[in-house]
């Protein structure tokens, strides 16, 4: 129904649509549906007792300050802790390089706000995180997709894309959302070299870096980039690095951070002032209290153990139940794997029948900035317990087989 309001909405809203993933979350509310949609952590690993203690400590020791307005850049002790935490991974920064955001989604939005003029190109992996596409479409971005394979962004195809003059490169180097693939070491170096040559900055989104189940951690693009620079060039570092507490602590507190050169942080703070003033003081203090004594390192071990088991169950059951012609990635960490169906199948069509059979996933097409990917799907393995993963993949394979028969 057209209403009086429709003609009032801004032009940019014509490019706004509900994210398929967010819409799908409502299917996960029915506990009968085994959902591989969404990107939700395992609720079993949330450190609830730690949160209880932390809430009481914060309210006892810092009650008035925790409930009061705070500064836009974020709670200083939390930013100091993030600086120490980052140093363990080779990222050497001070609190002046760190801004606290209300989840990484806000970091993506703020980066769009400060960097994207309507019509600006943004170089993205194909496929890529749909939330980034959604955030930047609102600012009029035009996406320049770079193909990916099992080793992540195909840097051999990068140079021709860079000639299009994109405003920045968006890279998800570790256990990428949606494919689960990891950017190979030599490709990281190539990406940095080309970005530097073309004067194009890199936005490195790393929500899953601490969730590697096997193999060696690879250095962050941020780390490799800074190794190419002299100390005094810290103002011209070419990488904006994003990470979050959503996957190692809890997403419900909406806490993430940006690491960037000070001129970028200054501009992000200005943008954030007008966007939400600041991120919840209380949540920042509680997260600091939970995490300050190294809890995240220990807790990440538990998460890795749980997620590895779930990934293994999903890989095993995919092998066991899926018909020939279906393939999938073997992520070494993170929350997702990526399934490619025979070309004759359409995952949107499949989705409706899957939900009827009480199993859900995300059809892959929404992750492609340029369209396509109709025979792909993203499966999340972090949220469901092993028994439900087994049952869910069994159901999904059956739906798929029916569609294959109908198409043959």
- Least Å distance, CB 163 to a second copy, is 18
Nearer to a second copy, 285 or 326 (CB): 285
Q: How far is CA 163 from CA 23, 153, 156, 166, 197, in A?
A: 36, 16, 13, 8, 11
Cβ neighbour number for residue 228 with a 10 Å cutoff: 13
Nearer to a second copy, 127 or 166 (CB): 166
The whole-angstrom distance between residue 60's C-alpha and the CA centroid of its chain comes to: 34
* Alpha-carbon gap, residue 12 to 383, rounded angstroms: 34
- Least Å distance, CB 192 to a second copy, is 15
Q: Angle between the 281-291 and 76-87 helix axes, to the nearest 10 degrees? A: 40
Nearer to a second copy, 25 or 184 (CB): 25
With beta carbons less than 8 A apart as the criterion, state whether 275 and 109 touch: yes
Helices (H) and strands (E) in the chain, counts: 13, 14
* Alpha-carbon gap, residue 310 to 385, rounded angstroms: 7
Nearer to a second copy, 38 or 209 (CB): 38
Nearer to a second copy, 147 or 263 (CB): 263
- Least Å distance, CB 140 to a second copy, is 10
List the end-to-end C-alpha distance of the chain, in Å, as a whole number.
40
- Least Å distance, CB 39 to a second copy, is 8
- Least Å distance, CB 332 to a second copy, is 24
Nearer to a second copy, 296 or 345 (CB): 296
- Least Å distance, CB 273 to a second copy, is 5
Cβ neighbour number for residue 159 with a 10 Å cutoff: 12
Write out the two tokens for 255: 């806490």
With beta carbons less than 8 A apart as the criterion, state whether 35 and 360 touch: yes
Nearer to a second copy, 64 or 215 (CB): 64
Nearer to a second copy, 335 or 399 (CB): 335
- Least Å distance, CB 278 to a second copy, is 8
* Alpha-carbon gap, residue 142 to 369, rounded angstroms: 9
- Least Å distance, CB 156 to a second copy, is 26
What is the phi/psi pair of residue 170, to 5°? -105, 115
* Alpha-carbon gap, residue 36 to 124, rounded angstroms: 24
With beta carbons less than 8 A apart as the criterion, state whether 168 and 116 touch: no
With beta carbons less than 8 A apart as the criterion, state whether 360 and 24 touch: yes
């Amino acid at each position: 129904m057209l209403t009086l309001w429709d003609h009032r909405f801004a032009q940019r809203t014509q490019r706004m649509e509900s994210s398929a993933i967010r819409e799908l979350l409502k299917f996960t509310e029915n506990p009968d549906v085994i959902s591989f949609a969404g990107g939700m952590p395992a609720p079993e690993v949330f450190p609830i007792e730690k949160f209880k203690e932390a809430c009481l400590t914060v309210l006892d020791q810092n009650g008035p300050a925790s409930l009061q307005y705070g500064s836009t850049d974020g709670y200083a002790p939390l930013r100091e802790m993030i600086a120490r935490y980052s140093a363990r991974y080779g990222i050497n920064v001070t609190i002046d390089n760190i801004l606290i955001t209300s989840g990484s989604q806000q970091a993506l939005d703020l980066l769009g706000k400060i960097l994207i003029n309507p019509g600006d190109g943004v170089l993205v992996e194909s496929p890529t995180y749909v939330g980034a596409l959604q955030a930047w479409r609102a600012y009029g971005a035009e996406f320049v997709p770079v193909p990916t394979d099992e080793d992540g962004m195909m840097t051999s195809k990068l140079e021709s894309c860079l000639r299009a003059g994109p405003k920045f490169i968006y890279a998800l180097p570790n256990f990428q959302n949606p494919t689960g693939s990891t950017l190979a070491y030599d490709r990281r170096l190539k990406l940095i070299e080309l970005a530097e040559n073309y004067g194009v900055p890199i936005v490195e989104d790393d929500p899953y870096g601490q969730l590697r189940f096997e193999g060696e951690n690879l250095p962050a693009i941020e780390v490799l980039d800074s190794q190419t620079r002299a100390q005094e060039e810290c103002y011209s570092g070419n990488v904006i690095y994003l990470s979050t507490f959503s996957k190692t602590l809890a997403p419900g507190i909406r806490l993430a951070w940006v690491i960037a050169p000070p001129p970028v942080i200054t501009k992000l703070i200005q943008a954030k002032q007008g966007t939400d003033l600041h991120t919840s003081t209380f949540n920042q203090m509680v997260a600091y209290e939970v995490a300050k004594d190294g809890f995240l390192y220990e807790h990440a071990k538990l998460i890795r153990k749980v997620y590895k088991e779930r990934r293994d169950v999903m890989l095993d059951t995919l092998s066991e139940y899926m018909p020939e012609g279906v393939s999938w990635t073997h992520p070494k960490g993170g929350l997702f794997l990526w399934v490619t169906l025979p070309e004759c199948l359409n995952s949107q069509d499949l989705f409706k029948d899957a939900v009827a059979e009480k199993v859900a996933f995300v059809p892959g097409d929404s992750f492609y900035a340029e369209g396509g990917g109709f025979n792909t799907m993203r499966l999340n393995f972090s949220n469901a317990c092993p028994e439900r993963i087994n049952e869910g993949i069994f159901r999904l394979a059956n739906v798929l087989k029916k569609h294959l028969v109908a198409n043959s």
